[in-house]
Structure 1
Amino acid sequence: MITNTLKNSSIRTGRSFDLGKMNLSQLWIAYLTYPTILLYFALALVSYALMIYNFTSLAPVAISIVSVILVYPLVWYCIHRFILHGRFLYRMKWSATLWKRIHFDHHQDPHLLDVLFGSPLNTIPTIAIVTIPIGYAIGNIAGAAAAFGAGLTITCIYEFFHCIQHLNYKPRMGWIQRMKQRHVLHHFHNENGNYGITSFVADRLFRSYYVDARGCPRSPTVFNLGYDVNEAKQYPWVMEETGSPPRDRPDGANTTRTAA
């Protein structure tokens, strides 16, 4: 019954599932069968197998994993704030399509599942660049494999909670509710804050954290990230790839659904 419901066109927009029209059971099915997530799972298993094969001591492996857990939120924050929300990628023809895929499309319609997940061609090299040097410096090959596996595992956790934050669902646990509310504000009130997904420690540290709409003025660029019609005339490559001018409001699900 759930599978048939999942296949129903009413929860799809184009080729993507519409999280604003899905329930938690449908999300679990979509998430656990999504090719990108399955690829992360497979690579994580391979990494942990390499860790075990090259294992010599528990301490460097454990320190590598803990180091990645501690570093990951800060790295994500910096990438999200200074690269994905920067305006330099769409102003260069060679990187405009990349920016469109990795973040602009997600803000144009935050409910679409296929643009919520990053492209593995971009995410996997980034995870490797961030984690493998840390692990190798601490524990050689075993440490590098452990760190990369940890990075992939954290990414899977991040992506699931990211889905929850855009899902037509009110979490029962208070801490997940608060996490979701902060992220909803980032997408529907002001994009210049609340860059975290599961952790907002970096937002607090760099003073980009706000708890409600009263704590930050509404942004006119929350859905287009500054790539409005005037910008599109000067830097047309994202608009050409999209096939239409940038929108000031997302299509698809009712934007008020995730505000609960």
Structure 2
Amino acid sequence: MNAGGSTVAGQRPRLAVHDPRAPGLSLRDAFLIFTRQRSARIIAALLVVTLTLRLAAGRWSGWDAAVLVALLALHPFTEWVIHVGILHWKPRRLGRLTIDTDLAREHRLHHLAPHDPRHWYTPMRGALVGFAISSAVVGLIAPTLALWLSFLVGVVAIGLVYEWTHYLCHTSYRPRGKHYRRLWRHHRLHHFKNEHYWMGVTMHLGDRLLGTQPSPKD
């Protein structure tokens, strides 16, 4: 396109993509849209803050690696428990009180309208409350400040990977790699075949071991 705004002969202008459901969405455009989302920015900022604090704390040891390995080993099960127990929570009555959460309410809307981008992202208020509680509990038992900060870095990094993976599974981007194709198919089975199965988003080990990964043909 020249200075006057006309298109050079034989070339089509590349239109900016703002809708993650747009046909032919590239991975680059999907990423750029993701970076504009509130949840992605908050989690990324938390990662920068916790990583900066961890680097400043120093005192590195093999225990830091052990913390991260433990988080990764537990992640398939924590992700499964959060999805089943928190996101799929059904409102319960206790006298006149209805027990429900922002996370569960938003997730129900997500299942009612899985193609609506407004419901693809983690509600930050509920997520930050959960993060604060788990951070406080681990902070009480962590032997050193450095190891506690390593835990925080690992949790936030896993959270960012989850947010990106879940978002990408709902965009119009079509997976190319074998690993992502498996994640994409798995999550779509959860939404469009049976919401009581295929609970994992970033890993499937929890589903395999806990009996929620049946054959898609069943």
Structure 2 length normalisation: TM-score? Answer: 0.81
Offset at 1:138?
4.9
Q: Which 5+ residue runs of structure 1 have no aligned equivalent?
A: 12-17, 216-260
- The answer on 1:100 being equivalent to 2:105 is yes
- Whether the 8 Å CA contact 1:162–1:197 is kept in 2: the answer is yes
Aligned pair 1:40/2:52, yes or no?
no
Report the secondary structure of 1:208's partner residue: coil
Q: Which residue of 2 aligns with 1:75?
A: 78
Matched residue, 1:4: 16
Q: Letter of the 1:141 partner, please give it.
A: L
Q: Residues of 2 paired with 1:163 and 1:194: CA distance?
A: 16
Which residue of structure 2 lines up, in the alignment, with residue 86 of structure 1? 89
What are structure 2's unaligned runs of at least 5 residues? 1-12
CA contact (8 A) 2:68 2:151 kept: yes
Larger Rg: 2
Structure 1 residue 100: Cα displacement: 1.6
Q: Deviations over 1:96-130 (max 9, x none)?
A: 655222x1111111123332111111112323444
Give the one of 196, 207, 212 matched to 1:203. 207
What CA distance in whole angstroms lies between the structure 2 residues aligned with 1:209 and 1:147?
Answer: 29
Query: Bigger CA drift: 85-94 or 157-166?
Result: 85-94
Give yes or no for the alignment of 1:169 onto 2:173.
Answer: yes
**Is 1:148 paired with 2:152?**
yes
Per the alignment, residue 116 of structure 1 pairs with 120
CA contact (8 A) 2:77 2:206 kept: yes
Counterpart residue identity of residue 27, structure 1: A
Query: Higher helix fraction: Structure 1 or Structure 2?
Result: 1
Number of aligned residue pairs: give it: 203
Cα deviation, 1:65-91, whole Å, max 9, x if unaligned, reads: 222222222111111112322323589
- Inter-CA distance 48–64: structure 2 relative to 1 (3 Å threshold): same
Distance in 2 (alpha carbons) for counterparts of 1:3 and 1:45: 32
Deviation readout 1:146-203 (Å, 9 max, x if unpaired): 1111111111111111122112122111121111111101000101100000111111
Q: Does structure 2 retain, via aligned residues, the 8 Å contact 1:51–1:146?
A: yes
> In 2, Cα distance between the equivalents of 1:90 and 1:152?
33
Tell me the C-alpha RMSD between the 2 structures: 2.6
Q: Read off the aligned partner of 1:207 and give its amino acid letter.
A: G
Paired amino acid for 2:21: L
The residue aligned with 2:33 is 30
TM-score (norm 1): 0.69
